[in-house]
Structure 1
Amino acid sequence: MELLILFGTLFLLLLMGVPVAFCLGLSSLATMFYLDIPLTVAFQRMAAGMNVFALMAIPFFIFAGELMNQSGIAERLANFAHALLGRVRGGLGQVNVVSSMMFGAVSGSAVASASAIGPTLIPMMKKEGYDADYAVNVTVTSATTGLLIPPSHNMIIYAIAAGGGISIASLFLAGVVPGIILGTSLMTAAYLVAVKRGYPAGQFPGWAKILRLFFSVLPGMFSTIIILGGILSGIFTATESSAIAVIYTALIATLVYRGLSWNGFVLACVNAAKTTSLVLLIIGTAAAFGWLLAVTEVPLKLSTALLEISDNPLVILLLINLMLLLLGSFMDMSPLIIITTPILLPVAVNIGMDPVQFGIMLILNLGMGVVTPPVGSVLFVGCAIGGIRIEDTIKTIWPFYLAFVVTLGLVTYLPATTLFLPTFFGS
């Protein structure tokens, strides 16, 4: 009965359009009331869920991404990618993917990437004769590469939800190859669709211009090297690296790019504060929800149920993927990471999957959810920028979904895809 109350209240509130954080909190309170658990426990669990030192990295990484956004780095990245790939058939599609990958390596946020790259490239693509649905589909799907290419605050959330025993540096390294594979797969899909629709190719601007544009974006891209290099060398922790990222970003935004105005700085602070407060509220309420899942032994029951269906690890992983894809289309990523990690991670470990590999698989699954209706937040952003209905994009987005499926298959069933770099660096 307690599980019926917990999940029934959650999905009822979601269907009513209540914000996810309140859905998690209210369903937890209702279940505790039924179980005669003091309601103060819910608030204690929320406070404990947010009172984790490693979470300090989230506001810093978000703030660094906002500073980059306000300093005009997105436009510089787009110009560099355009010069490099514009001569390919349907070149602006390739430009879109590469720009999102590079910006994702700075911001670590799919929404931030779509919000920064979209206003620059979607109008440009439409002006050059690309259909609006194509422009939006490429933009929103390529924005998700930032969830895998470090730094990604969702990996920090996963590490904490897993109990804190997983190295954030290992997760950062594990996301690099899948992020590149996903980007390459999306570029392939973009090219094939562009050829089918007869989109034009641009002109080669010359290596001198490409080299000049490369040096213009290099300071911004160097932040990722500083973060990973500092963590791997032991100079600073992942949390400390986020603060270093803010300092470095502020310096290059003001001294190198000179594109960060006072109003832009204030807007970056406001946006970072809003995003951080939303993420932390979700983390807190999801922590209370996750505690109830543990109390009601949901992980054990689900593990038993899956093993009763099949004892084949390949089949169990397929079922987990299908479950995550379904959940990701109805809920936001952050709460799902906190809710599903303690439930599904023990199942994955029991069938021999490495926790780092599972984390990347989880994030990739839920990343597909942010571009899938009805709750796809990144899809909504892209459609709003492109001035197109979601129904029109969904009709033609399937080649890009196929790119996700190919990458997900490699991450799930080929451990070296995620574990090669962490093993190589001994992280």
Structure 2
Amino acid sequence: MEAWVLLGSFFVLILIGTPVAYAMGIAALIGAWWIEIPLDAVMIAIANGVNKFSLLAIPFFVLAGAIMAEGGMARRLVAFANVLVGFIRGGLSLVNILASTFFGAISGSSMADTASVGTVLIPEMEKKGYPRDFATAVTVSGSVQAILIPPSHNAVIYSLAAGGTVSIAALFIAGVLPGLLLGATLAVLCLWTAKKKNYPKGEVIPMKQALKICADALWGLMTMVIILGGILSGVFTPTESASIAVLWAFFVTMFVYRDYKWAETPKLVHRTVKTLSIVMILIAFAASFGYIMTLMQIPLQITTALTTLSDNRYVILALINLLLLALGTLMDMAPLILILTPILLPVIKSIGVDPVHFGMIMMVNLGIGLITPPVGGVLFVGAAVAKLPMEQVVKALLPFFGALLLVLIAVTYIPALSLWLPGLLL
């Protein structure tokens, strides 16, 4: 009965249009009242939820990504990717995916990736003879890489939702191979489609111009080296590397590229703070919601229920995937990570699945949710950038969903994809 009160009040609040963060906070208060826990305990849990040093990594990474996104970085990464693969048949679709790989390794945000890369490449692909809906589908699906490739904001949120027991550095490194596999799978699909539909080849960039483009992009690409190199060498923690990335992004944007006006900086910071305030409120209220769930022993009950259904880890992982895919279409990624991690972590530990590996499984699942209707935030951004009806974009996305599901199966049932690099480097 206790679980029904907590979860039922949460879903009722969602159905009547209450924002997810406030729905979790109010449901936690209702749950605390029902089990006769002092409301002061809920307030303490809310405060403790955001009183963590590692949380500073999120605002720094978001700010670094915002500076790079608005400072001309996306355009230069597109040009760099064009040098590498633009001359192949269907090359602009590969440029799109590769640019998302590079930009995702800087911004850590699928929405920023779709908006920045899509603004440059969707019109360009249409101009060169690609259908606009295909160009949008490539952009939207390619941006899912940003969730896996470090520095992923959602990996930080997962670590916090796991109670800090999962290393952020391990999650960052674990995302490299799954992210590259996702990009490679989408590239193969694009090459096959380009050959089947005879999409155009690009032109080979002259050597002198190519070297200039590469040199120009190198400044931004150094951000990846700073973030990963600092963490792997032990010089920086993930939080410290995020703050260094902000300083580097600011230096490159304002003093090297000089495409961004100083007068626009306060507006950029204001937009970043506005985004972060929503994230921090969500994390704070999710902490109280998780606290009440733990007191009600909801994670234990769900673990018992799932392990009663089957003792086969592969079957349980398949059931969890189906659950995550279904919920990912109905709710945004961050609240789902915060709600589901405390519930599912005991389940996966009981069947011998590494929490870092499970983090990657969750990221791929919920990443697919970001581009799936009816609540796919990245899908909405892509459709808005392309100025296309969402239904048309979804139809074009169908083959890409197949590719993403293949990646999900590989990441779920081949643990080495997630665990080999962290074991080697950390």
Q: TM-score, normalised by structure 1?
A: 0.96
State the distance in 2 between where 1:264 and 1:103 align.
22
- 2:36: which partner in 1? 36
- Amino acid in the other structure paired with 1:247: L
Q: Which amino acid aligns with 2:387?
A: G
Q: In percent, how many aligned pairs have the same letter?
A: 46
Q: Aligned equivalents of 1:102 and 1:264: distance in 2? A: 25
1:329 aligns to 2:297 (yes or no): no
Distance 1:255 1:401 in 2: 41
Alpha-carbon offset, residue 252 of structure 1 = 1.2
Which residue matches 2:169?
A: 169
The aligned counterpart of 1:155 is: 155
Q: Given residue 144 of structure 1, which amino acid in structure 2 is its aligned partner?
A: V
Residue 376 of structure 1 and its aligned partner are, at CA, apart by: 0.6
CA shift at 1:52, angstroms?
0.9
Structure 1 contact 14–23 (Cα < 8 Å) conserved? yes
Q: CA deviation at 1:294?
A: 0.9
- For 1:117 and 1:15, locate their aligned partners in 2 and report how far apart those are by CA, in whole Å: 34
C-alpha separation between the residues in 1 aligned to 2:13 and 2:399? 33
Equivalent position amino acid for 1:93 in 2: S
The aligned residue for residue 272 of structure 2 is: 272
Q: Which position in structure 2 is the counterpart of 1:134? A: 134
Match of 2:345? 345
Distance 1:263 1:100 in 2: 28
CA offsets per residue over residues 274-313 of structure 1, 9 Å max, x none? 1111111111111111112111111111111111111111
Secondary structure class of the residue paired with 2:89 = coil
Assess, with a 3 A threshold, how the Cα gap between structure 1 residues 321 and 209 changes in structure 2: closer, same or farther: same
Matched-pair contact (CA < 8 Å) for 1:383–1:390: yes
After alignment, is 211-220 or 5-14 more displaced? Answer: 5-14
Given residue 38 of structure 2, which amino acid in structure 1 is its aligned partner?
A: P
Task: Please report how far the alpha carbon of residue 208 of structure 1 lies from its aligned counterpart in structure 2 after TM superposition.
Answer: 3.3
Q: Tell me whether 284-293 or 55-64 shows the greater mean CA deviation.
A: 284-293
Cα shift at 1:123: 1.6
SS in 1 for 2:396: coil
Whole-angstrom CA distance in 2 between matches of 1:261 and 1:322:
47
- In the alignment, which residue of structure 2 is the partner of 1:399? 399
Following the alignment from structure 1 to structure 2, what is the Cα–Cα distance between the partners of residues 196 and 6? 52
Offset of 1:404 from its aligned partner?
1.4
Change (3 A) 1:137 1:13: farther
Unaligned segments of structure 1, at least 5 residues = none
Q: Secondary structure at the match of 1:395?
A: helix
Could you say what secondary structure the match of 2:171 adopts?
Answer: helix
Q: Distance in 2 between matches of 1:416 and 1:285?
A: 35
Q: Which runs of 5+ in 2 are unaligned?
A: none
Whole-Å separation in 2 of the counterparts to 1:371 and 1:386: 14
1:90-105 correspondence runs (5 A): 90-105=90-105
Cα distance between partner residues in 2 of 1:89 and 1:22: 50
1:192 counterpart = 2:192: yes
- Cα offset for 1:166? 1.9
Distance 1:133 1:351, change over 3 A: same
Relative to structure 2, which stretch is displaced further, 14-23 or 333-342?
A: 14-23
For 2:5 and 2:117, the matched residues in 1 are separated by: 42
* Structure 2 Cα separation of the partners of residues 217 and 285 of structure 1: 40
> RMSD value over aligned CA atoms?
1.5
Letter in 2 for 1:411: V
Match of 2:10 in 1: 10
- The residue type paired with residue 295 of structure 1 is L
Instruction: Report the equivalent of 1:222.
Output: 222
TM superposition shift of 1:226: 1.2
Label 1:329 to 1:207 Cα distance change in 2 as closer, same or farther (>3 A): same
Q: Please tell me the residue identity of whatever aligns with 1:252.
A: V
Report SS of the residue matched to 1:235. coil
Alignment of 1:374-389 (within 5 A): 374-389=374-389
Deviations 1:317-356 (A, max 9, x none): 1111111111111111111111111111121122111111
Q: Displacement, 1:45?
A: 1.6
Name the counterpart of 1:122.
122
Task: Tell me how far apart the structure 1 counterparts of residues 86 and 224 of structure 2 sit (CA, whole Å).
Answer: 25
Maintained 8 Å contact 1:84/1:210: no
Deviation at 1:88, TM superposition (A): 1.9
Contact 1:329 1:376 survives alignment (8 Å)? yes
